[in-house]
Amino acid sequence: MSKFTISVLMSAYNAERFIKYAIESILSQTYQDFEFIIVNDGSTDNTDSIITTYNDSRIVYIKNPKNLGLIASLNKGLKIAKGDYIARMDADDIALPNRFKLQLETFAKNPHAIVVGSEYYLLSGNKKSYIKNNNDSDYNKAVLFFSPCFCHPTVMMKNVFNEKNIFYDSEFIHAEDYELWTQLALQGDFLNVNQPLLMYRNHQNQIIAINKSGQHEISKKIRIAYLIKMGFKVDENQLEIINLIGNNIFITSKIVLFLIENCLSDLREQNKRLKIFNQNSFNLFIHKFWMDSCGNSNLGLRATIIYVKSPLSKIVPVGLSAKFKFVLKCLIRRFRKH
């Protein structure tokens, strides 16, 4: 059985518009020791004919006779992957040329790493935004209390899936990556390459956009399970606040901000006792979501006053530029209704 350093895993369904760019961005990587598993998930457009134009021995082509869904297709690929690492890719994204090289270098320098993501460019219509990510493992794992900590198609993962019997779970459809991170969090460190390695395409037809409501409900289950797994205890009211933060609900009441402050403060105190996460990393995490919550409201200057008076605003140093952006955001969102 031939062995590769990397198994690239990509599922495609009716992806004729962008799949050419995705495939070519993988085949043109500066690091070339990989197999490229492409699962055509029952496409009814020209996806098949586009894939079969590529005559490259590294491509492993799986053609589902009917649409099985993303989770089943990815698990098919994981079960046959021969690489030491799994690099995820989506059929509408573009990997930058040094992606594999830089992620492998990060693994080599950090032997305890289990997942390495990256910063990325978000493509939305004609707009391109630069999305930065944190390279602090405990910070990234703490973020899982509220939301996924990686952009799924940026990641490279150690191939422990068959050995540990860890796969994407169909019970968590539309949030399968989020649930996977909560499983892998106990297997090693979560890191990021602090430069963009992917162009991530955001468009209206994405599954995540179409199924947002169902994703919120499933995310609640993931948060509860992860909190318990990590040894934290929350009551029903706190869980409601955690779901509010995680679902990025717009805040229109100062009472809600005070409830968020109390919930975040309690999580911080629990971590001090439990010592699950490095406290400095956890403080960064708590402060980030406290500042974001105050900024995600229409309370204007009242939100800035609540933020400034809170002990949570003082647990990490904040530069003048960040403070200015925060105040500006509060003032701009003062006029939003919801």
The per-residue pLDDT for 338 is: 67
pLDDT tens figures, 240-254: 999 999 999 999 999
pLDDT tens figures, 142-159: 999 999 999 999 999 999
**Domain contains 75:** yes
The per-residue pLDDT for 204 is: 53
- 3 vs 224, residue with greater confidence: 224
- Rounded distance, CA 234 to CA 21, Å? 46
Do 279 and 194 lie in one domain? The reply is: no
**Tokens 């990989």 appear where?**
34
Which two tokens mark 45? Answer: 């457009």
Do 258 and 205 lie in one domain? The reply is: no
Mean pLDDT on 201-227: 77
Between the alpha carbon of residue 203 and those of residues 9, 123, 215, the distances in Å are 21, 8, 17
**Domain contains 303:** yes
Is residue 97 left, alpha or beta, with left meaning phi > 0 and alpha meaning psi from -120 to 50? alpha
Strand partners of residue 63: 40
Do 255 and 124 lie in one domain? The reply is: no
Count of domains forming the chain: 2
Mean pLDDT on 203-226: 75
Q: Among 179, 210, 241, identify where a domain stops.
A: 210
**Domain contains 222:** no
Q: Which domain holds residue 25?
A: 6-210
Contact in structure between 40 and 33 (CB atoms under 8 Å): no
Do 127 and 197 lie in one domain? The reply is: yes
Nearest to 180 by CA among 71, 34, 62: 71
- Rounded distance, CA 126 to CA 128, Å? 7
Do 24 and 72 lie in one domain? The reply is: yes
**Domain contains 215:** no
**Domain contains 216:** no
Nearest to 43 by CA among 69, 20, 12: 12
Average pLDDT for the chain:
95
56, amino acid identity: D
pLDDT band at 212 (very low <50, low <70, confident <90, very high): low
Do 266 and 139 lie in one domain? The reply is: no
Q: What is the CATH number of the domain that holds 117?
A: 3.90.550.10
Do 40 and 122 lie in one domain? The reply is: yes
Q: Among 157, 181, 210, identify where a domain stops.
A: 210
- Cα angle 306, 312, 317 (rounded to 5 degrees) comes to 110
Do 164 and 300 lie in one domain? The reply is: no
H or E segment and range at residue 242: helix 236-246
pTM of this prediction? Answer: 0.94
Between the alpha carbon of residue 23 and those of residues 51, 65, 85, 89, the distances in Å are 8, 21, 18, 9
pLDDT tens figures, 279-313: 999 999 999 999 999 999 999 999 999 999 999 99
**Domain contains 163:** yes
Do 169 and 297 lie in one domain? The reply is: no
**Domain contains 31:** yes
**Domain contains 115:** yes
Nearest to 330 by CA among 290, 302, 288: 302
pLDDT band at 196 (very low <50, low <70, confident <90, very high): very high
